[in-house]
Amino acid sequence: MAKRKGANRGRVILVAGGAGFVGSHLCSALLGAGNRVICLDSYLTGSPDNVAALQRNPYFTMVEQDVCDEIVSDEPLDEIYNLACPASPPSYQADPIHTMMTSVTGTGNLLRLAARHGARFLQASTSEIYGDPQQHPQQEEYWGHVNCTGPRACYDEGKRAAEALCFDSLRAGSVDAKVARIFNTYGPHMRPNDGRIVSNFVVQALNNEPLTVYGSGEQTRSFCYVSDLVEGLIRLMNRDPNPGVPVNLGNPGEFTVIELAELVLSKVRTASAIVHAPLPPDDPQRRRPDISRAKSLLGWEPKVPLQDGLTHTIAWFQRALPQQPPMRRR
């Protein structure tokens, strides 16, 4: 890993997956708090655009690398956040074996790096470790209901294995590892063609294309705005002593897919209508975080309501997308 610019400043923090949607906001917040940030990313689903503004900061360094390859740093690291992993179902299913190895080999590599440097470690885990949950809302004690042979397994089981690696490293005393179980998060810097629900619906509405509701649209998700999530991640990393248990981070407001489609349509001047498309296999029916643990351990809860977060997200996509064709009637 190259020697960093701007040597005399704050903590030195490596963010794997820092050029992605969440990672780029995290890098920005950590720099803003006076730290030096090394972003390590292969650009698999991230983008140089997401970190273009950060590249002008002398305390930011970009390293283009796959986490599955050995990672070395010639300078001491204080903290490592591991966000490296494609998060959208079409992206993580495009090369499922690489997705699994990213979570297993990649997390293993980063934990070894953390052990060598005595760096604190935070793993970006996911609500997907609960699978299609039979407990609602989902508490951290719930062990989950995951199909280990289906098309989502490369992501869900990879993330479950990564959690096991973190807790084994913690029990062994080799790494001060923490695990955040992140629920659906949205906001600026999502890729327009990412395939996730919020980016799909917003881009479709802005392009006057039909909003593609998969299945009946009665399935639910809970949507957290990205600034709230980043605040939770930083609080968890800095929680002392280490709680030694995973922590759900998400917004407990629960919406059906149809409700989200209607909300987007109400906020965008568009000719779009709703169409139904087949439900992907193993699509979880319900998802809502119980955030009691985050509230009590971190004093954290989301502040941005879906209405407001969507307004910011739509405004960002309006600027980021190419010029729209003229609006047609619905």
Binding site for ligand NAD (CB under 6 A): 17, 19-23, 41-46, 66-68, 83-87, 102, 106, 124, 126, 182, 184-185
Q: Are 14 and 106 in contact (CB under 8 A)?
A: no
Report residue 329: phi and psi, to 5°: -70, 150
Please name the residues in contact with 229: beta carbons below 8 A apart, sequence gap of 6 or more: 22, 182, 185, 249, 250, 302
Q: Judging by beta carbons within 10 Å of its beta carbon (0-12, 13-18, 19+), is residue 59 exposed, middle or buried?
A: buried
Cα gap 274→261, rounded to integer Å: 7
> Residue 20 binds which one of ligand UDP, ligand NAD, none, with CB within 5 to 8 A depending on kind?
ligand NAD
Which one among 254, 280, 282, 301 touches ligand UDP, defined by CB under 6 A? 280
155 is catalytic: yes
Q: Where are the beta strands (DSSP E) in 108-238?
A: 120-126, 177-182, 185-186, 211-214, 220-222, 224-225
Give the residue with the Cβ less far from ligand NAD, 85 or 261. Answer: 85
Among 132, 228, 214, which residue's Cα sits nearest to residue 186?
228
Give the residue with the Cβ less far from ligand UDP, 71 or 84. Answer: 84
Give the DSSP H/E element, type plus range, for residue 249. Answer: strand 247-249
Which one among 107, 184, 248, 251 touches ligand UDP, defined by CB under 6 A? 184
User: Please, what is the minimum distance in Å from the beta carbon of residue 216 to ligand NAD?
Assistant: 22
How many other CB atoms are found less than 10 A from the CB of residue 95? 14
Which one among 84, 213, 265, 298 touches ligand UDP, defined by CB under 6 A? 213
User: Please, what is the minimum distance in Å from the beta carbon of residue 208 to ligand NAD?
Assistant: 26
**By the rule CB under 6 A, 214 interacts with ligand UDP:** yes
Cα gap 46→23, rounded to integer Å: 9
> Residue 89 binds which one of ligand NAD, ligand UDP, none, with CB within 5 to 8 A depending on kind?
ligand UDP
Report residue 276: phi and psi, to 5°: -105, 145
> Residue 185 binds which one of ligand NAD, ligand UDP, none, with CB within 5 to 8 A depending on kind?
ligand NAD
Q: Judging by beta carbons within 10 Å of its beta carbon (0-12, 13-18, 19+), is residue 64 exposed, middle or buried?
A: exposed
> Residue 68 binds which one of ligand UDP, ligand NAD, none, with CB within 5 to 8 A depending on kind?
ligand NAD
User: Please, what is the minimum distance in Å from the beta carbon of residue 177 to ligand UDP?
Assistant: 24
Give the residue with the Cβ less far from ligand NAD, 270 or 300. Answer: 300
How many other CB atoms are found less than 10 A from the CB of residue 5? 11
Give the residue with the Cβ less far from ligand NAD, 91 or 270. Answer: 91
User: Please, what is the minimum distance in Å from the beta carbon of residue 271 to ligand NAD?
Assistant: 29
User: Please, what is the minimum distance in Å from the beta carbon of residue 136 to ligand UDP?
Assistant: 15
**4 is written with which tokens?**
């960093």
Out of 59, 130, 155, 186, the active site residue is 155
Cα gap 45→305, rounded to integer Å: 27
CA end-to-end distance (rounded Å), the chain = 53
- Which amino acid belongs to residue 131? G
**By the rule CB under 6 A, 196 interacts with ligand UDP:** yes
Stretch binding ligand UDP (CB under 6 A), from 93-101, 109-117, 162-170, 212-220: 212-220
Whether the bond between 137 and the residue before it is cis, its omega within 30 degrees of 0, is yes
Size of the site for ligand UDP (CB under 6 A): 15
Residue holding tokens 């779009």? 272
- Among positions 282-321, residues that touch ligand UDP (CB under 6 A) are 283
Catalytic residue set: 155
List of residues contacting ligand UDP (CB under 6 A): 88-89, 184, 196-197, 200, 212-214, 219, 221, 257, 279-280, 283
